[in-house]
Amino acid sequence: MPRFIAGNLAKFALLMAATSFVVFFLVSASPVDPLSANVGQAALANLSDERRVALEAHWGAGVPFWERYGAWISGLAQGDLGTSLRFNAPVADVIAQRALNSCALMAIAWVASGVFGFVLGVAAGARRGSKLDRAVKAYCFILAASPTFWVALIMLIVFGVGLGWFPIGFSQPIGRAAADVTFLDALHHLALPAFTLSLVGVANIALHTREKTIDVMASPYVRFALARGESKLSVILHHGLRNLALPAITIQFAQVSEIFGGSVLVEQVFSYPGLGQAAVTAGIGGDAALLAGIALVSAVIVFGGNLTANVVYGLVDPQIRKGAHHA
Amino acid sequence: MREAAEAATAPSVLHAPAIRRISNRKLTALLTAVSALVLLAVVAAGAILAPDAAQTDFAQKNLAPSLAHPFGTDWMGRDMLMRTVAGLSLSILVGLLAAVASSLIALGLGTLAALGGRRADAVVTWLIDLMMGIPHIILLILISFALGKGFWGVTMGVALTHWPSLARVIRAEVLQCRTSGFVAAARQLGVPWWRIARSHLLPAVLPQFLVGLILMFPHAILHEAAITFLGFGLPPERPAIGIILSESMAYLSAGMWWLAVFPGLSLIAAVLLFDAVGSGVRRMVSPGSAQE
C-alpha cells in the first residue's frame, strides 16, 4: 500500500509539473496584449507614456518567459494563482466560489448517467435483438453524434421556453438577494443543466455495458446457472452484476474528463455560473491567470477520477486486492 | 441491419431464396458510397451557395419554416437552409483538415513508439497520458487562446488534441506486425528495414490508419462546432454551424426554435453519415468481417 501511494504521488507531481508547463506555455503564447485587452481602445489612445509603462510593468509585459513561469510556479506552491482580470479578484477565490456550482452539477450528472447508463446497458444486453435493445442502441448512437451544446439548446427550447417548467438560466432567481435564495431555488435552477448533462453521458457507458453483458450472457457459468433453472433476472443479479460492475466503474471514472468538458458547454448554454462558464469568459476576455487556474483544476479533477478508479478497482477486484497483480 | 439480413436468410436454408438477395458486401459498399457522395454534394453545394447564404432580405425576416423557406429565416431575412448548407460545408472542410493533420501526428508518434525502442515508447505513452489529463474542451480553449482564435486556432486545436487514441491503435498494430512471423522471416533473409517497412508494415497498418482517419472526422467536426459555439473558433462572419447555433441563442427566448433545431439536426446527419462511411470502410477492409 505505501508503494501504491508513493507511486501515485510521484505520478501526480510529474503530471502536474508537465501540465502546469504546457498550460503556462499556451497561455503566454497568446497574442492577446494585456494592455489593449483591459484598458479599452479609447483609453489606450489617450494613455500617457508613463502610465503605459507603469501598466506594462504591472502586468509583466516584456518579462522573459522563464522568469514569469518561475514566479507563477512559486506563487502556485503557496496557493496563490494570481489575480483574475475579468472578475477583479484572486483566481483561487473565483474558482472556489464557482467550484461548488460546478461540482454539484457534475456530481449529479456523473452519478445519474452512470446508474442510468449501466441499467440501460444491462437491460439491452440481456435481451439482445429485442425492441428494447434496438431502442437503446439507436438512442446511444444518435446521442453520441449530437453536439452536447445542441442537446442543451433543445432542452432549453422545450422545457425552458416552450413548457416553462424550468428557468432559462443562472443558478438562482434573478433580482433576489443571495440571502433569500432557498435550497429549492438552487435545485430548480440546477435541474435542467444536470438532466441535460446526464442524458449526454449515458451513451458511452450504456454501449460498453451492453457489449460486456452480451459476453457475460454467452459465458459457461451463465449457461450452467440457466440450465440449473435459475431465472434470467436471478442470473443477472447474482452472477452478472459482479462481473459487469468492474468495467463499468473503470469507464465511468474515465468519463470524468468528458463530463467536465460537457459541463463547459452546458454551463455556457444555461448561463450557469460554474467553472466552465468562467473558463469561457476568461478565454474570450483574455484573462490568462484565470484560464490557467481552471485548466490546472480540471487536470486535478481528471487525475482524481483516474486515481479513484484504480483504488476502487483494487477494492472490488479480488485478484488485485490479494496482491496477485498490480495493474 | 445485420440482424435483418440474418433473419432473412434463416428460413431459406433448405430451399432457394424466393428473392435474389444483394450480398451484404455490395450493400455495404453501396451504402458507403452513397453516404460519401451525399457529404461531397453538401460540401460542393455549400461552396456554391455561400454568397447567396449571406443575402439579407428584411421583408422576409423571422419567418417560421414554410415551403419557400424549409428551415425558416433569421432576424436578417437570411434563408436558414442555405446558411445551414454553407455552414456544414465549412465545418466539414475544417474537420477534414484537422482530422488529416491529427491522424498524421498519430501515425508518426504511433510508429515511433512501436519502432523507436523502449525510451521512445515511454515518452510517447507519457505524452498520451498528459494529453488525456486535461479535458478536451479545456485543452481546445487553451490552444485556440494561444493561437489567437480564428480558423487556425480551431484547426490546430482539433489537430493537436485528437491523435492519442489513433496513435495507440497504430502502435499496437505496428508492434503486432513487427513481431509476426513474416517480418522475422524477411529479416532473416536480409531484407533492408525500409523495404520491410514498405512492403510488410505499410499494407498491414494502412487500413487501420484510413479507418481511424475517417472515424476521426465526426469527433473533429463536433469539437469544431463546440469550440466555435463557445466563441473560440471561426469568426462570426463565417457561416459555420457553431456560429449559427450560438447566434440563435439570443432568439430562442423569443420562440424562434427553428434557428437552432434544423442546423443542429443537419449537423447530426452529417456526423452519422461520416460514421456510416467509416464503419462501412472498416467492414470492407478488415479481414475478419470482409466476407460478411
CATH of residue A216: 1.10.3720.10
Query: How many C-beta neighbours within 10 Å does residue A321 have?
Result: 11
pTM of the complete model beyond 0.90? no
* Maximum mean pLDDT: which of A51-65, A151-165, A233-247: A233-247
Cβ–Cβ < 8 Å for A19, A27: no
> Among partner residues A129, A157, A279, which is closest to B138 by beta-carbon distance?
A279
Q: What is the pLDDT of residues A140-149, one digit of tens each?
A: 888 888 888 8
Name the residue with higher pLDDT: A323 or B209. B209
SS (H, E, C) chain B: CHHHHHHHHHHHCCCCCCCCCCCHHHHHHHHHHHHHHHHHHHHHHHHHHHHHHCCCCHHHCCCCCCCCCCCCECCCCCEHHHHHHHHHHHHHHHHHHHHHHHHHHHHHHHHHHHHCHHHHHHHHHHHHHHHHHCCHHHHHHHHHHHCCCHHHHHHHHHHHHCCHHHHHHHHHHHHHHHCCHHHHHHHHCCCCHHHHHHHHHHHHHHHHHHHHHHHHHHHHHHHHHHHHHHCCCCCCCCCCHHHHHHHHHHHHCCCCCHHHHHHHHHHHHHHHHHHHHHHHHHHHHCCCCCCC
Contact: A157, B135; criterion CB under 8 Å: no
* A8-20 mean pLDDT: 84
Which residues form the domain of A12? 2-89
Minimum Cα–Cα distance from B274: chain A residue: A145
Contact: B145, A291; criterion CB under 8 Å: yes
* Predicted confidence (pLDDT) at residue A291 exceeds the cutoff of 80: yes
pLDDT of B101: 92
Lowest mean pLDDT of A257-271, A307-321, B2-16, name the range: B2-16
Query: How many C-beta neighbours within 10 Å does residue A186 have?
Result: 15
> Among partner residues A23, A257, A262, which is closest to B142 by beta-carbon distance?
A23
Q: What are the distances in angstroms from CA A116 to CA A119, A121, A144, A200, A213?
A: 5, 9, 16, 11, 15
Minimum Cα–Cα distance from A169: chain B residue: B253
> Is there a single domain that holds both residue A279 and residue A188?
yes
Cβ–Cβ < 8 Å for B195, B106: no
> Is there a single domain that holds both residue A6 and residue A102?
no
Per the structure block, which three cell numbers stand in for B200?
A: 510488410
pLDDT of A4: 76
pLDDT > 70 in chain B, percent: 85
Q: What is the pLDDT of residues B242-285, one digit of tens each?
A: 888 888 877 776 767 777 888 888 888 888 888 888 888 877 77
The last residue of a domain, from among A29, A62, A89: A89
Integer Cα distance of B193 and B170 in angstroms: 18
Query: Average pLDDT over chain B, rounded to whole?
Result: 80
pLDDT of A181: 67
> Among partner residues A153, A264, A303, which is closest to B252 by beta-carbon distance?
A153
> Is there a single domain that holds both residue A117 and residue A208?
yes
Lowest mean pLDDT of A166-175, A194-203, B158-167, B213-222, name the range: A166-175
Q: Min CA distance, B163 vs chain A (Å)?
A: 16
Q: What are the distances in angstroms from CA B140 to CA A10, A132, B225?
A: 27, 37, 12
pLDDT of B87: 84
> Is there a single domain that holds both residue A148 and residue A270?
yes
CA A92 to centroid of chain Cα atoms:
18
The last residue of a domain, from among A62, A89, A116: A89
> Is there a single domain that holds both residue A157 and residue A32?
no
Which amino acid, one-letter code, is at A17?
A
In which band, very low, low, confident or very high, does the pLDDT at B102 lie, cut at 50, 70 and 90? very high
* Predicted confidence (pLDDT) at residue B209 exceeds the cutoff of 70: yes
pLDDT of A71: 78
Handedness of CA B210, B215, B221, B226 (dihedral sign): negative
Residues 253-282 in A contacting B (C-alpha not used; CB under 8 Å):
257-258, 260-262, 264-265, 268-269, 276, 279-280
Integer Cα distance of A142 and A121 in angstroms: 15
Integer Cα distance of A201 and A191 in angstroms: 15
In which band, very low, low, confident or very high, does the pLDDT at A180 lie, cut at 50, 70 and 90? low
Cross-strand bridge partners of residue A84: A89
Alpha carbons within 13 angstroms on the beta-carbon side of residue B95 total 31
Minimum Cα–Cα distance from B137: chain A residue: A261
- Ramachandran region, residue A89 (left: φ > 0; alpha: ψ -120 to 50; beta: rest): beta
Q: Min CA distance, B247 vs chain A (Å)?
A: 12
* Predicted confidence (pLDDT) at residue A7 exceeds the cutoff of 60: yes
> Is there a single domain that holds both residue A242 and residue A272?
yes
> Is there a single domain that holds both residue A84 and residue A106?
no
pLDDT of A327: 41
> Is there a single domain that holds both residue A178 and residue A321?
yes
Query: Average pLDDT over chain A, rounded to whole?
Result: 81
Q: Which residues contact B271 (CB under 8 A, 6 or more apart)?
A: A145, A146, B218, B221, B222
Cβ–Cβ < 8 Å for A299, B134: yes
Q: What is the pLDDT of residues B144-178, one digit of tens each?
A: 888 877 888 888 888 988 888 888 888 888 888 88
> Among partner residues B232, B252, B272, which is closest to A145 by beta-carbon distance?
B272
Total domains, chain A? 2
Contact: B230, A30; criterion CB under 8 Å: no
Cβ–Cβ < 8 Å for A304, A253: no
* B82-104 mean pLDDT: 87
Contact: A146, B255; criterion CB under 8 Å: no
Q: What is the pLDDT of residues B30-55, one digit of tens each?
A: 888 888 888 888 888 777 877 776 77
Minimum Cα–Cα distance from B227: chain A residue: A265
Which domains are assigned to chain B?
2-49+63-285 (1.10.3720.10)
> Is there a single domain that holds both residue A250 and residue A299?
yes
Strands A83-84 and A89-90: antiparallel
Q: Does B185 touch chain A (CB under 8 A)?
A: no
Which residues of chain B does A268 touch, with a Cβ-Cβ cutoff of 8 Å?
A: 229-230
The last residue of a domain, from among A89, A108, A128: A89
Q: What is the pLDDT of residues A85-142, one digit of tens each?
A: 777 778 888 888 888 888 888 889 999 999 999 999 999 988 888 888 899 988 888 8
Name the residue with higher pLDDT: A143 or B289. A143
> Is there a single domain that holds both residue A101 and residue A84?
no
Cβ–Cβ < 8 Å for B39, B69: no
Number of CB pairs, chain A paired with chain B, less than 8 A apart: 139
The position carrying cell 450504456 is A206
> Is there a single domain that holds both residue A72 and residue A113?
no
pLDDT of A325: 47
The answer to whether ipTM exceeds 0.90 is no
> Is there a single domain that holds both residue A84 and residue A177?
no
Q: What is the pLDDT of residues B228-240, one digit of tens each?
A: 888 887 877 777 8
Contact: A257, B135; criterion CB under 8 Å: yes
Q: What are the distances in angstroms from CA A30 to CA B101, B102, B138?
A: 22, 22, 15
